[in-house]
């Protein structure tokens, strides 16, 4: 009766939870709270698209990254320019924003992948700055974004905001500056919600009202980033913005080179922070140049002048491609040119920076794998491949640790990866995250020969000495390549070409770029089940078009194949329950002789042909499946952003926790902080359901305790189950779905299938008779002997 009441109580509890979820979805739609929104500094731009989402302490600027040194006098006004498009019907897989300051890549947003940490409505990255006359100035509009397709109230004006527009209002709100604009969008508007934006445009007499329908936020592969941390005293420590991606500067000119600890050659204008000329741009390309004239060269004792050119070109999806994965369309082609405009030969080398600000989604609940068992990986790691070498991965913890040691020794925090002849040929080098990567792939020089380098390094691009220990895995790390010294004749040029990959870690895509090794599954004993399960899941998805249903069907297939083992386990449990009284009698008979107890119990097992460990086989067989599925969920990008119920915010990402609602503001840090809390900032239901089903199984199928020791063991098992629920509270929803289905299958299997028949009462009678006669059961009862003697 108690068991039935317990089960009824759990069922009613689950029904109440289900009702709560349905009511929440329909009456209070969930919008994920952005816990790291901060007020922008004056003059630092960030459109509402620049919210950090799942990234700790990160904000995205649109105006001023951290400066290595005071910038030189601008050559021209600072400019931003977009190429590509976020429109899924366009021939591009991404949109890229460039900044003339450093001729850098500021932002890369993917058209076919959405942000899973921020589910609020997306208007578009506008690279805003405060307008002196009020409002905010639009410096660039992301192609294919809602802002680019917004409809004007005046039919004579074409759709979309444009660079140079000044936003003065949103709905009924008057926009006085960026704080007003960001404050409005930080209310977490929903995708598909409409907003009205009032704009003043040069040449138009009256304000224009644009109406846009918000979309889901695209995934940003690289983005500007800054950080703020709480100190031990509770103060807020605000750091400068990290450098942008693909910055370039000269490493040496003639006999002058960058000094140890410096970032550029002393005396030359800054190529990292100076404004480059935007020579030309189009739908799929942008070209920047910077000229070091004779005055600049004379400052370092050199004659002549140099012109450095950076040309970016975005790959397109071929018109005959069936889908976006069939062609190499997730990269920028980067051409670096150094022109010698002087009258004498010049020796030059340059340093090319790598990608920065890669996504940190899931850093607080996921764990990346390292190829080597005893090495740790972080949320961002450095991966590289030397020519004719093996794929290598330098984990974030190791980069941070070595950088700290360098700083303590008054050395620059640069971790060398390849030097000298080893660095001469580099196949690729870049930054790796759980589901996305950015990699530089040197192609060739103008002569068709491979590009040679002096060294390749890994480095943190933020101050590692102030990062809290619990957030070290989120350190913003990058790479850099230093080219060999090249002698450029007068009037000639040095030309190097690179392919820069920005994209998903999809096996089909990575194969096109020879980057398949970036998907890490760990030991082969678990890698093989992961690959098999991944293939089965994909096949089931093709039939069901829902990965949640596919996981349920996979569980049914696995448990169906294990029915013989399940029956054996049930038989073993039944036999154990039958023999429990006899085992207790043996313990009572030999209370102080453990060896005798063991001998008698083993004899009892042998008499009944019983193996007490026979029921454990099912657990051992499921272990590789459990680990394989966990790793499959950790690397299979198809499961990322795969919803259990399409259109619901709850359980919308099977590769992460189900996230019923955000409770960071309702609880203490020790419970819900991303880094320091036990459970994370979201309340998850699936782990609770999983643990509940585990407890039900223990309650229903564990034999009753026969003594205090057995009772204590069962209590320990219950406590361990609850502790496992705490430890695995942040596991992917897809894995919980597997456990829930498997547990329900096990309960139904044990309740519905015929119970195995034990040896019966005959064995018990024979055992009792044997004890009375002192034999093995072959002697006849004493009453029979008396009857025969009388005859």
What was the pLDDT predicted at 54?
A: 41
**756 against 220, higher pLDDT:** 220
* Separation between Cα atoms, residue 505 and residue 519, nearest integer Å: 7
For 198, phi then psi, to 5°, come to -95, 130
Tens of pLDDT, residues 421-442: 776 789 999 999 999 999 999 9
Answer yes or no: are the C-beta atoms of 607 and 706 closer than 8 Å: no
Strand partners, 82: 97
Rounded-to-integer distance, Cα 149 and Cα 161, Å? 8
For 551-572, write each residue's pLDDT tens digit: 999 989 888 887 777 777 777 7
pLDDT at 791 over 60: no
Please check the confidence at residue 42 and state whether its pLDDT lies above 50. no
Q: How far apart are CA 113 and CA 504, in angstroms?
A: 8
pLDDT at 778: 41
In the prediction, which pLDDT does 366 show? 83
Beta partners for 386?
Answer: 426
β-sheet bridge partners, residue 281: 286
Quote the crossing angle between the two packed helices 686-701 and 733-752, to the nearest 10°.
20
Distance CA 27, CA 20 (A): 10
How far is Cα 91 from Cα 329, in angstroms, rounded to an integer? 9
Q: Determine the average pLDDT of the residues in 184-196.
A: 84
**The pLDDT value given to residue 252:** 94
pLDDT tens digit string along 654-701?
A: 999 999 988 888 888 888 888 778 888 999 999 999 999 988 888 877
Q: Any residues with CB less than 8 A from the CB of 596 and at least 6 apart, and which?
A: 590
Report the pLDDT value the prediction gives residue 380, as an integer from 0 to 100: 94
Is the full-model pTM beyond 0.75?
yes
Coil, strand or helix at 499: strand
Joined tokens for residue 502: 């920005």
Cα–Cα distance, 214 to 202 (Å, whole number): 26
Contacts of 510 (CB under 8 A, 6+ apart): 516, 518, 519
pLDDT band with cut points at 50, 70 and 90 for residue 63: very low
**Distance (Å, whole) CA 755 – CA 746:** 13
The whole-chain average pLDDT of the chain stands at 82
pLDDT in tens, 294-347: 999 999 889 889 999 999 999 999 988 878 787 899 999 999 999 999 989 999
**For residue 46, pLDDT beyond 60:** no
Position 91 scores a pLDDT of 94
Say how far apart CA 516 and CA 775 lie, in whole Å. 69
Cα 710 off chain centre by:
44
Alpha-carbon gap, residue 235 to 521, rounded angstroms: 41
What local confidence, expressed as pLDDT, does residue 501 receive? 97
Q: Give the SS3 label for residue 419.
A: strand
Structural contact between residues 471 and 229, judged by C-beta atoms closer than 8 angstroms: yes
Q: Is the pLDDT of residue 765 over 60?
A: no
């Amino acid at each position: 009766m108690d068991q039935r009441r317990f089960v009824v109580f759990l069922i009613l509890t689950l029904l109440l939870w289900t009702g709560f979820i349905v009511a929440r979805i329909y009456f209070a739609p969930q919008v994920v709270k952005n816990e790291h929104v901060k007020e922008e500094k004056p003059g630092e731009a960030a459109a509402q698209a620049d919210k950090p989402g799942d990234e700790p302490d990160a904000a995205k600027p649109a105006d001023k990254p951290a400066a290595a040194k005071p910038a030189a006098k601008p050559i021209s006004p600072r400019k931003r320019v977009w190429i590509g498009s976020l429109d899924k019907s366009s021939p591009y897989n991404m949109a890229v924003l460039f900044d003339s300051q450093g001729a850098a890549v500021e932002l890369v947003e993917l058209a076919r992948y959405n942000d899973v940490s921020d589910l609020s409505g997306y208007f578009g990255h506008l690279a805003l700055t405060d307008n002196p006359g009020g409002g905010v100035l639009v410096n660039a509009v992301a192609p294919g974004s809602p802002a680019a397709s917004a409809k004007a109230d005046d039919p004579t004006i074409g759709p979309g905001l444009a660079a140079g527009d000044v936003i003065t209002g949103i709905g009924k709100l008057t926009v006085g500056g960026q704080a007003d604009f960001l404050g409005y969008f930080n209310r977490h508007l929903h995708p598909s919600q409409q907003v009205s934006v009032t704009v003043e445009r040069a040449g138009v007499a009256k304000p224009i009202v644009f109406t846009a329908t918000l979309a889901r936020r695209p995934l940003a592969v690289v983005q500007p980033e800054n950080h703020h941390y709480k100190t031990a005293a509770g103060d807020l420590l605000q750091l400068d913005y990290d450098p942008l991606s693909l910055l370039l500067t000269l490493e040496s000119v003639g006999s002058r080179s960058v000094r140890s600890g410096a970032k550029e050659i002393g005396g030359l204008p800054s190529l990292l922070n100076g404004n480059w000329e935007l020579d030309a741009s189009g739908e799929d390309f942008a070209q920047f140049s910077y000229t070091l004239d004779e005055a600049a060269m004379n400052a370092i004792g050199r004659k002549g002048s140099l012109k450095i050119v950076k040309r970016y070109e975005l790959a397109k999806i071929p018109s005959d491609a069936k889908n976006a994965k069939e062609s190499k369309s997730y990269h920028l082609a980067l051409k670096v040119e150094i022109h010698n405009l002087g009258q004498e030969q010049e020796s030059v080398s340059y340093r090319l920076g790598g990608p920065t600000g890669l996504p940190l989604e899931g850093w607080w609940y996921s764990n990346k794998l390292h190829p080597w068992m005893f090495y740790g990986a972080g949320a961002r790691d450095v991966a590289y491949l030397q020519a004719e070498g093996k794929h290598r991965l330098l984990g974030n913890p190791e980069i941070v640790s070595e950088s700290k040691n360098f700083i303590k020794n008054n050395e620059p925090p640069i971790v060398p990866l390849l030097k000298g002849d080893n660095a001469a040929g580099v196949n690729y080098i870049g930054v790796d995250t759980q589901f996305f990567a950015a990699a530089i792939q040197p192609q060739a020089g103008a002569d068709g020969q491979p590009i040679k380098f002096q060294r390749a390094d890994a480095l943190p691009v933020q101050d590692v000495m102030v990062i809290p220990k619990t957030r070290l895995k989120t350190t913003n790390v990058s790479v850099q390549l230093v080219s060999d010294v090249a002698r450029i004749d007068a009037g000639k040029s040095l030309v190097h070409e690179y392919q820069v990959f920005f994209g998903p870690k999809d096996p089909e895509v990575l194969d096109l770029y020879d980057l398949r090794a970036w998907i890490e599954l760990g030991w082969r004993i678990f890698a093989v089940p992961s690959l098999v399960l991944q293939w089965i899941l994909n096949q089931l998805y093709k039939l069901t078009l829902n990965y949640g249903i596919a996981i349920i069907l996979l569980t049914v297939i696995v448990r169906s194949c294990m029915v013989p083992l399940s029956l054996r386990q049930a038989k073993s449990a039944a036999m154990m329950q039958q023999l429990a009284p006899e085992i207790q009698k043996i313990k009572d008979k030999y209370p102080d002789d453990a060896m005798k107890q063991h001998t008698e119990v083993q004899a009892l097992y042998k008499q009944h042909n019983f193996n007490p460990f026979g029921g454990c086989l099912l657990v051992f067989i499921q272990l590789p499946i459990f680990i394989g599925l966990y790793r499959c969920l950790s690397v299979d990008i198809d499961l990322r952003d795969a919803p259990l119920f399409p259109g619901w915010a709850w359980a919308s990402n099977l590769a992460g926790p189900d996230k019923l609602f955000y409770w960071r503001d309702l609880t203490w840090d020790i419970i819900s902080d991303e880094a320091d809390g036990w459970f994370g900032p979201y309340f998850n239901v699936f782990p609770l359901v999983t643990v509940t089903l585990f407890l039900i199984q223990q309650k229903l199928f564990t034999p009753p305790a026969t003594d205090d020791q057995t009772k204590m063991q069962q209590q320990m098992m219950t406590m361990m189950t609850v502790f496992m629920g705490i430890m695995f509270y942040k596991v992917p929803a897809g894995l919980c779905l597997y456990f829930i289905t498997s547990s329900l299958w096990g309960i139904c299997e044990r309740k519905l299938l015929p119970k195995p028949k034990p040896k019966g009462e005959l064995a018990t009678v024979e055992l009792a008779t044997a004890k009375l006669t002192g034999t093995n059961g072959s002697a006849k009862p004493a009453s029979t002997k008396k009857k025969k003697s009388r005859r």
